[in-house]
Chain A
Amino acid sequence: GQNIDQPTEMTATEGAIVQINCTYQTSGFNGLFWYQQHAGEAPTFLSYNVLDGLEEKGRFSSFLSRSKGYSYLLLKELQMKDSASYLCAVRPIDSNYQLIWGAGTKLIIKP
């Protein structure tokens, strides 16, 4: 079967750091994406990982461990505008045409 797990909701303080975890079980693996989705809006691309390790992009970093079926998104210097849902999506190896999505983690930033 294919399954992606993320925490439902997290709360963090403005200026702090937060780590959002994602674990997956899929039929093979061909890359993992992180998207940000503000309420009522479409998802926007944040990062892509296909090899183990950390990818850094400004305040956002994404880490992947393929052997553990695990990824995390690290957000630094949190801003109020970072309040959104963060979606983890995996491309299974037996389908180059679709993404399997997690339910998303709703991140609430408090002043």
Chain B
Amino acid sequence: DAGVTQSPTHLIKTRGQHVTLRCSPISGHKSVSWYQQVLGQGPQFIFQYYEKEERGRGNFPDRFSARQFPNYSSELNVNALLLGDSALYLCASSLVPGGNYEQYFGPGTRLTVT
């Protein structure tokens, strides 16, 4: 069975540009969460989507946006990139949000902003 997939694996952008990151959840999973992980720190919650609706949002500026498609895949968009946006962006899927449902993480997209 395929796990969570993310694309691209690595990305280099310059300040001010826009980026779109993609995530495909495990088949049957309807919830997708996005996290930002800076080296040496734990993941920081950005968004959670369930049944194509935003169900939670972390403390990130409006430059960050996301959406979930009818097939439950998801995109994370970041506008006006800053150097501080350089990080590993992780997507996690679960059957449904909350409770004891564990989140399965994708391999991540390593974004470097120069």
Whether a CB of chain A sits under 8 angstroms from the CB of B78 is no
Please classify the interface of chain B as helix (H, G, I), strand (E, B), loop, or mixed, using the class held by over half of its residues: loop
Interface 0/1 of A61-90, CB less than 8 Å to B: 000000000000000000000000001010
Q: Are A99 and B103 in contact (CB-based, < 8 A)?
A: yes
Whether a CB of chain B sits under 8 angstroms from the CB of A44 is yes
Whether a CB of chain A sits under 8 angstroms from the CB of B74 is no
CA distance A30 to B99 in the complex (A): 7
- The number of chain B residues with a CB under 8 A from chain A is 26
Question: Which residues of chain A are near B33, meaning CB under 8 Å?
Answer: 97-98
At the interface with chain A, which of B12-20, B40-48, B62-70, B79-87?
A: B40-48
Given known contacts A41-B107, A95-B56, is B42 in contact with A87 (CB within 8 Å)?
yes
Q: Are A42 and B48 in contact (CB-based, < 8 A)?
A: no
CA distance A104 to B105 in the complex (A): 16
Q: Are A45 and B106 in contact (CB-based, < 8 A)?
A: no
Which A residues lie at the B interface, using CB under 8 A? 4, 30-31, 33, 41-45, 48, 50, 87, 89, 91, 95-104
